[in-house]
Structure 1
Amino acid sequence: MPDISTTMIIVLCVAAAAAGWIDAVVGGGGLLLLPALLLGLPHAHPATVLGTNKAVAIVGTTGAAVTYVRRAPVNVKVAVRIGLAALAGSMGGAALAGGIDKDAMRPLIMGVLVIVAGVVIFKPGFGAAPSAEPVSRNRVLLAIGLAGLGIGFYDGLIGPGTGTFLVLALTALLHLDLVSASATAKIVNVCTNLGALGMFAYQGRVLWQLAALMAVFNLAGGMIGANMALKKGSGFVRWVLLTVVGALVVRLGFEQWG
């Protein structure tokens, strides 16, 4: 365990629980967890912060995924296929991350998020209920390419809001309601987190004792969030989604111009 005060450990555990809740409902828990770890580990190497974050997040994500699969209609086979594509995409994005001007990309991402928020606000039926029509093979392939490879690539390249983008893409491409899209996104997230964690662990970039303690709270938050989403339905997820999208825009704007 690194030299951290008891107060800071409590703060990190609370942040882990809140991040698990957000991730389970609509994705985007990293908006809270990563800044908290950066605050709590000011002298740690960035890769160690990222590795510890993945070790915490994968536990809550897995717990939420199991909760969803047990109670929500989820096509696990399709979700795993998208997850494997996302794993490959994130590795490609990470390999190219050093040569990309991220400052130039942030306004573009912010613009996309604003459009997304507009769609959710002005199209109340978006993700309210699944389509009665069966999803075609072409749409599944499109989801593997765009939601898997595309968003996976974004995750490796930049990262913030990956879970939120997954929920939106899966809702649109596979005609899922927001609850089923959140459930599918959790399975995809498990795949990508597992690959990243394996790499960080191989490099010795994980603070396992701290991660284990925070993971307990992240798991609790994730399971509570998943159960709340299942109980309250797509309307609840919709409002959490808008809140997270707003937070993403503010964070990216602060990084760009703050």
Structure 2
Amino acid sequence: MPDISLTTLAVLCLTAAAAGWIDAVVGGGGLLQLPALLVGLPHMAPAHVLGTNKAVAIWGTSAAAVAYARKAPVDVRTAARIGLAALGGSLAGAFFAAGIDSAVLRPLIMAVLLAVLAFVLLRPTFGTTVADPAPPTGRRVLAAILVAGLVIGFYDGLIGPGTGTFLVLALAGILHMNLVTASGTAKIVNVCTNVGALVTFTAQGAVLWQVAAPMAVFNLAGGALGARMALKRGSGFVRGVLVVVVLALVCKLAYDQWGG
């Protein structure tokens, strides 16, 4: 157990609740939770911080996934297929992570995010209505498995920030889902990737369970609340949160690239 004050632990728990809420609505909770852990546990190895982060995040993601699966029109079978592909992609990304210079990739990711932000702002109806109410074709499902599963899963293992947001955008665009259904599907995919990462970190002994356990309770509560709010307020609410999170992600990557 690291030497951590009750005040620091309380702040981490409140941060975990906020991260769970953000993650449940549109993804991107790690933008808040991971930096908080890095500040709160300054003397811990990065692997322990990452492992603890995954041990916390999986609870809020799972709570949100259950809430969406119960009340949103989520195709659990399709989500599970994409999730298995994402699990494989994340394992491959983690394998190559050591040989990739993230400083080279950040500008590219920022450019993609800015293009996504422009697209969302210029298309006010994106994700708020279903363009095609018919079930997705096999070709679209395969495209979702390849892009939302393998490609974004690979990115999650390689770098990680904003994975949930990318999943929501990909699912809404490829499968013509509204943003609420896309968020619910993304949560199921995220559970699959988080399980794989957590198993790896646990096997390496890189999870600080004494810190993760109380944070997980708050993260779970935040995830459940965020899912309920998204389901109640609809795609317009999710779209607003999406814009804010994408902007925050661009700022975070820009700071990591040029401000650190």
Q: If the length of structure 2 is used for normalisation, what is the TM-score?
A: 0.98
The structural deviation recorded for 1:255 is: 0.9
Number of positions where the alignment pairs a residue of Structure 1 with one of Structure 2: 258
Residues 135-157 of structure 1 show CA distances to partners (whole Å, capped at 9, x for unaligned) of 10010001000100000000011
Unaligned runs of 5+ in 2: none
Give RMSD over aligned pairs.
0.7
Q: Residue type matched to 1:90 in 2?
A: S
Secondary structure at 2:206's aligned position in 1? coil
Task: Give the superposition deviation at 1:98.
Answer: 1.2
Matched, 1:256 2:246: no
CA offsets 1:195-237 (integer angstroms, 9 cap, x no match):
0000100010011121110000000000000000000000000
Residue identity in the other structure for 1:227: R
Separation in 2, partners of 1:30, 1:64: 15
Tell me which residue corresponds to 1:94: 94
Read off the aligned partner of 2:175 and give its amino acid letter. L
Structure 1 segments unaligned to the other structure (5+ residues)? none
**What is the aligned partner in structure 1 of residue 140 from structure 2?**
139
Q: Distance in 2 between matches of 1:134 and 1:226?
A: 24
Q: What's the secondary structure of 1:99's corresponding residue?
A: coil
Superposed displacement of residue 102, structure 1: 1.2
Partner of 1:75: 75
What CA distance in whole angstroms lies between the structure 1 residues aligned with 2:44 and 2:103?
A: 24
Task: Name the amino acid aligned to 1:108.
Answer: L
Map 1:193-232 to 2 at 5 A: 193-232=194-233
Percent identity, please: 68
One-letter code aligned to 1:210: V
**Deviation at residue 101 of structure 1 after TM alignment:** 1.8
What's the CA shift string for 1:61-109, capped at 9, x where partnerless?
0001001111000000000110010010011011111111211111110
Query: Is 1:64 equivalent to 2:64 in the alignment?
Result: yes
Do residues 18 (structure 1) and 21 (structure 2) align? no
CA distance in 2: counterparts of 1:40 and 1:111, whole angstroms: 31
Give 1:183's aligned residue: 184
CA distance in 1, matches of 2:102, 2:215: 30
Shift of 1:134: 2.5
Task: Normalising by structure 1, report the TM-score.
Answer: 0.99
Aligned counterpart, 1:7: 7
The correspondence of residues 224-243 of structure 1 with structure 2, limited to 5 A, is 224-243=225-244
SS in structure 1 at match of 2:98? helix
Counterparts of 1:63 and 1:99, CA distance in 2: 35
Aligned-residue offset at 1:133: 2.8
Q: Residues of 2 paired with 1:15 and 1:119: CA distance?
A: 30
Amino acid at match of 1:242: V
**Amino acid in the other structure paired with 1:154:** Y
